[in-house]
């Protein structure tokens, strides 16, 4: 790989990406867990199997509400409910995260956020990624 680039290209060099990733790691103030939830089942003999959780990511993150956005409403029964969305920043190498995975903060300065479950709504990916961004929203479990 060449250590030069054109101004038209605009891509980052490997050492620039590494520096960006190192700088972004300072932003992570919280600790979180992202997991995949497979619901339990009931078979014909009425045997119940428990929900199964598979951890996808655990480690540092940063959590904040999305304030400047269009409102999001979800169908609930015959009405609509307003859903607050949050931006989560993760290290760039947090991979395997998918929409519908669950998110929980395991350590944060806001005690009201501890152990609340959220659902992943968006995962942002890019070539020269300094950090992974995901969007989550409140869910009742």
| pLDDT digits 0-9 by tens, 51-109 | 889 999 999 999 988 876 555 555 556 655 667 889 999 988 899 999 999 999 999 99
CATH 3.40.50.261 is the classification of domain 14-138: no
116: CB partners within 8 A, 6+ apart: 104, 105, 138
Q: How far apart are CA 109 and CA 66, in angstroms?
A: 18
User: E strand or H helix at 49, and its extent?
Assistant: none
Domain ranges of the chain: 14-138
State residue 15's pLDDT score. Answer: 65
The answer, as to whether pTM is greater than 0.75, is no
3-class DSSP state of 20: helix
Q: Over 80: is that where the pLDDT of 1 sits?
A: no
* pLDDT confidence of residue 7: 44
CA end-to-end distance (rounded Å), the chain: 48
Asked if residue 115 lies in contact with residue 139, where contact means CB atoms within 8 angstroms, the answer is no
**6, pLDDT greater than 50:** no
């Amino acid at each position: 790989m060449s250590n030069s680039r054109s101004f038209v290209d605009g891509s980052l060099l490997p050492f620039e990406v590494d520096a960006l990733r190192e700088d972004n790691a300072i932003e992570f103030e919280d600790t979180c867990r992202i997991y995949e939830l497979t619901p339990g089942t009931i078979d014909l003999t009425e045997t119940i199997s428990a929900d199964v959780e598979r951890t996808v990511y655990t480690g540092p993150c940063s959590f904040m509400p999305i304030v400047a956005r269009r409102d999001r409403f979800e169908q609930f029964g015959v009405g609509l409910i307003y859903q607050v969305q949050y931006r989560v920043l993760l290290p760039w190498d947090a991979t395997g995260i998918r929409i519908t995975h669950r998110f929980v903060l395991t350590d944060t300065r806001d005690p009201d956020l501890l152990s609340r479950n959220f659902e992943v709504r968006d995962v942002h990916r890019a070539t020269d990624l300094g950090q992974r961004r995901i969007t989550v929203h409140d869910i009742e479990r």
